[in-house]
Amino acid sequence: MITRHFGIPVTSPGAILRRERDLGTPLGQETAEVLRSGGLVSDKIIIELIEDWLRLHGGHGFVFDGFPRTLPQAESLMSMLTKLRTALDLVIWLEASEKTVRDRITGRLQCGECGFTTSSSSAQFANRPVCPYCDGRLERRNDDDLGVLQTRLQEFRTKTEPLGAFYKKVSVLHRIDGNRDRDAVFSEISRLIEDKTPK
Residues that bind ligand AMP (CB under 6 A): 12-15, 17, 34-35, 38-41, 46, 66-69, 73, 143, 152
The C-alpha torsion from 144 through 148 and 152 to 155, rounded to 10°, is -160
Tell me which residue of 114, 121, 140 sits closest to 182, measured CA to CA.
Answer: 121
Termini Cα distance of the chain: 21
Q: In what order do the strands lie in the sheet with 117-119?
A: 117-119, 108-111, 138-139
Q: What angle do CA 82, 85, 90 make, to 5 degrees?
A: 80
96-135 burial by CB neighbour count: b if 16+ within 10 A, else e? beeeebeeebeebbbbbeebbbbeeeeeebeeebebeeee
Please give the Cα distance from 116 to 69 (Å, whole number): 22
Please give the Cα distance from 132 to 138 (Å, whole number): 10
CB 132, CB 118: distance < 8 Å: no
Compute the least distance from the CB of residue 195 to ligand AMP, in Å: 25
Q: What H or E segment, with its residue span, contains residue 118?
A: strand 117-119
